[in-house]
Amino acid sequence: MKLNKKEISELVDNWFTRVDEKITTNAVAKQFIFEEIEGASFGNKKSQRFAKLSGFDLIEYTNAMTDRTFDEVDGAGGPQQVLMYECHEPLKDIIGNNIALDIRLQVVDKIMKKYSLGKYSFQNIRFSLKSSSSNSYIFIDKYKEYLIYDTKRFEKVIEYRYYNQETKVYIEINENDVISILDNGIKKNFGIIDRKELLDEVVVITEGKTDWKHLKKALKKFQEQGLYLNLNIKFEEYEQTDMGDSELATMVRTYAKVKQEKKYIMVFDRDQVGKNGKKDVKKLFVEENLFSNHGNNVYSMFIPKINDDLDEICIEFFYEKEEVINAWDNGKRLFYGNEFNQQTQVSFCGSYKTDKPYPKVLDILDGDNKKKVYYIDDEKCENNIALSKNDFTNNIIDDVEGFDNFDIENFKLIFDVIEKIVND
- For 76-114, write each residue's pLDDT tens digit: 889 999 999 887 888 888 888 888 889 999 999 999 988
Local structure of residue 135 (DSSP, 8 states): S
Could you tell me which residue, 202 or 240, shows the higher pLDDT? Answer: 202
Q: Is the pLDDT of residue 277 over 70?
A: no
- With CA atoms as reference, report the closest residue to 118 among 205, 41, 21, 52: 52
Report yes or no: 26 and 2 within 8 Å, Cβ to Cβ.
Answer: no
CB atoms closer than 10 angstroms to residue 48: 13
- Whether residue 179 contacts residue 192, with contact meaning beta carbons closer than 8 Å, is answered with yes
CB-based burial label for 268 (10 Å; 0-12, 13-18, 19+)? buried
Ranges assigned E (strand) in 321-383? 335-336, 352-354, 364-365, 373-375
Neighbour count for residue 175 (Cβ, 10 Å): 7
Residue predicted with more confidence, 89 or 375: 375
Q: Sorting pLDDT into bands at 50, 70 and 90, what band is 236?
A: confident
Give whole-number Cα distances, 327 to 39, 131, 218, 376, in Å.
38, 44, 18, 20
Closest CA to 108 of 10, 32, 18, 3: 32
- Helices (H) and strands (E) counted in the chain, each on its own, are 14, 18
Q: Is 219 left (phi over 0), alpha (psi -120 to 50) or beta?
A: alpha
Q: pLDDT tens, 133-172?
A: 666 777 777 667 778 887 677 888 887 888 888 888 888 8
User: Taking residues 58-68, what's their average pLDDT?
Assistant: 84
- Please state, for a pLDDT cut of 90, what percent of the chain lies above it: 39
Spatial neighbors of 343 by CB under 8 A, at least 6 apart, are: 358
CA torsion sign for 79, 85, 87, 89 is positive
Percent of the chain scoring above 70 in pLDDT: 89
Categorize the per-residue pLDDT at 62 as very low, low, confident or very high, splitting at 50, 70 and 90: confident
Measured distance CA(284)–CA(99) in Å, rounded: 59
Q: Where are the domains of the chain?
A: 5-120, 122-197, 202-311+408-422, 320-397
Q: Flag whether pLDDT at 286 surpasses 70.
A: no
SS3 content of the chain, % helix, strand, coil (to 5): 35, 20, 45
Least confident of 105-119, 173-187, 213-227, 348-362: 173-187
